């Protein structure tokens, strides 16, 4: 069987690699509870993750002290919510992740030709085909 | 709360037995909260909520797998976690995981007993008593009791090393399985 990259597998690898980053980013803006995080991530199909992914991940980030949590009663007669907030350690980690993320974006932009060369891309393509023929 | 949802939570609770009671209660309350939100905000029926959350095995397994990977040392609780995670993860590991996990425990136990026995034997000799229930043999030879101490300590060290190796193998296996499980997620 030929080994080919399935696009679905690739997408799930990206999601796995970026989910912690996205969760820390969302929580860094304001305290969030699980359902809140899951439904906000659902706005982007590539980031959509199941409960069985998000909740154990939150628990690990809590144990590793990137997050802290508190329970709060709700006024609408719903069960209490568990809110997560980011810790100092979490912010440090987030800053490092943001730096690396920007490096990655810059690297990909350079590899793919950079945004400033977008309009030249067709010309380039033409000259390459000319050279080839 | 709906009977269906309560049964689901009970099953999760049973699968999470190896975790400390407080942590288990926290997990259950959080899932309960998620169910409440799904019912009130997403307007899902109990059946829809359950199909969204996945089987109790799958959800409990995700918690056990994550808690198993967060540390690295061997303990009775982590051992239980490993067995349960494995039982939830599927048939393939039913053979590999108990095998490596039990071997890890047995090797470490033997690694502690062997040097203790050697020390008792060697310690008894100069004091003039022999401990008949601690016997030391290499093949058909019975070396001098004084030799027992260093040899047994060496043996114990090797046994503990083997136990640690088996434990690492166990963790590695769990890591592969949980990675495989994660690839299955949408």
3-state SS string for A69-130: EEEECCCCCCCCEEEEEECHHHHHHHHHHHHHHHHHHHHHHHHCCCHHHHHHHHHHHHHHHH
Cβ–Cβ gap A52/B27 under 8 Å: no
The angle formed by the CA atoms of residues B101, B106 and B111, to the nearest 5 degrees, is 130
Tell whether B50 and B83 lie within a shared domain.
Answer: no
Task: For residue B68, give the chain A residue with the closest CA.
Answer: A60
The reply to whether B129 and B177 lie within a common domain is yes
- According to the model, what pLDDT value does residue B72 have? 54
pTM greater than 0.80: no
Do residue B46 and residue B78 come from a single domain? no
Give me the percent of chain A exceeding a pLDDT of 70: 81
Domain match, B178 and B86 both? yes
Residue A19 confidence class, pLDDT cut points 50, 70, 90: very high
Contact status of B185 with chain A (Cβ, < 8 Å) = yes
Counting Cβ atoms within 10 Å, is residue B104 exposed (0-12), middle (13-18) or buried (19+)? buried
**Across the interface, do B66 and A60 touch by the CB < 8 Å criterion?**
yes
Do B93 and B154 share a structural domain? yes
Are B22 and B92 found together in one domain? no
Phi, psi of A83 (to 5 degrees): -95, 145
Q: Quick check: A35 contacting B, CB < 8 Å? A: yes
CATH number, domain A11-112? 1.10.10.10
Contact B33 A33 (CB under 8 A): yes
Q: Is A17 on the interface with B (CB under 8 A)?
A: no
Question: Cβ A80–B29 below 8 Å, yes or no?
Answer: yes
What is the Cβ-side half-sphere exposure of residue B30, based on CA atoms within 13 angstroms? 27
Give the pLDDT score at B79.
72
8 Å CB contact between A35 and B33: yes
The reply to whether B162 touches chain A by the CB within 8 Å rule is no
Rounded to 5°, angle at Cα A13 from B63 and A102? 110
- Per-domain residue ranges of chain A: 11-112
Model pLDDT for residues B38-59, shown as the tens digit of each residue: 999 889 999 999 999 999 988 9
Across the A/B interface, how many CB contacts are shorter than 8 Å? 77
Asked if the model's pLDDT at residue B186 lies above 50, the reply is no
pLDDT at position A29 is: 95
CA–CA dist A118, A121 (Å, integer) = 5
The parent domain of residue B11 ranges over 1-54
More confident call, B127 vs B47: B47
| Residue A19 vs residues A11, A73, A104, B111, B166: alpha-carbon distances, Å | 12, 28, 16, 42, 32
B43 and B88 co-located in one domain: no
Q: Verify that B108 and B23 share a domain, yes or no.
A: no
Q: Residues of chain B with pLDDT > 70: what percent? A: 78
Instruction: Name chain B contacts of A9, Cβ cutoff 8 Å.
Output: 183
In 10 A of CB B5, how many CB atoms?
Answer: 20
Q: Report phi then psi at A84, rounded to 5.
A: -115, 135
CB contact under 8 A, A35 and B31: no
State yes or no: ipTM above 0.85: no
Confidence at residue B104, expressed as pLDDT on a 0 to 100 scale: 86
Mean pLDDT of chain A: 86
In a domain, B60, yes or no: no
């Amino acid at each position: 069987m030929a080994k080919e990259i399935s696009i679905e597998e690739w997408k799930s690898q990206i999601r796995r690699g970026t989910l912690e980053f996205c969760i820390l980013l969302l929580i860094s803006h304001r305290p969030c509870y699980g359902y809140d995080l899951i439904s906000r991530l659902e706005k982007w199909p590539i980031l959509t993750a199941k409960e069985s992914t998000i909740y154990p991940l939150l628990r690990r980030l809590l144990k590793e002290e990137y997050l802290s949590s508190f329970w709060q009663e709700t006024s609408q007669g719903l069960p209490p919510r568990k809110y997560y907030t980011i810790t100092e350690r979490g912010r440090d980690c987030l800053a490092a992740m943001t730096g690396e993320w920007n490096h990655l974006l810059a690297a990909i932009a350079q590899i793919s030709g950079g945004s400033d060369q977008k309009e030249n891309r067709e010309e380039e393509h033409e000259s390459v085909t000319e050279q080839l023929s | 709360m709906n009977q269906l949802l309560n049964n689901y939570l009970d099953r999760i609770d049973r699968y999470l037995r190896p975790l400390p009671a407080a942590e288990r209660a926290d997990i259950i309350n959080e899932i309960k909260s998620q169910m409440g939100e799904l019912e009130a905000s997403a307007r899902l029926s109990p059946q829809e909520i359950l199909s969204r959350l996945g089987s109790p095995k799958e959800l409990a397994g995700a918690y056990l797998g994550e808690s198993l990977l967060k540390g690295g040392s061997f303990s009775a609780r982590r051992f239980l976690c490993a067995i349960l995670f494995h039982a939830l993860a599927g048939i393939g590991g039913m053979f590999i995981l108990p095998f490596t996990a039990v071997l890890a425990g047995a090797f470490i136990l033997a690694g502690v007993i062997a040097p203790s026995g050697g020390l008792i034997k060697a310690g008894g000799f100069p004091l003039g008593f022999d401990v008949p229930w601690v016997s030391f043999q290499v093949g058909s030879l019975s070396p001098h009791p004084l030799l027992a101490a260093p040899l047994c300590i060496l043996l114990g060290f090797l046994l503990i090393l083997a136990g640690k190796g088996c434990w690492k193998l166990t963790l590695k296996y769990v890591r592969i399985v949980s990675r495989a499980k994660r690839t299955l997620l949408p």
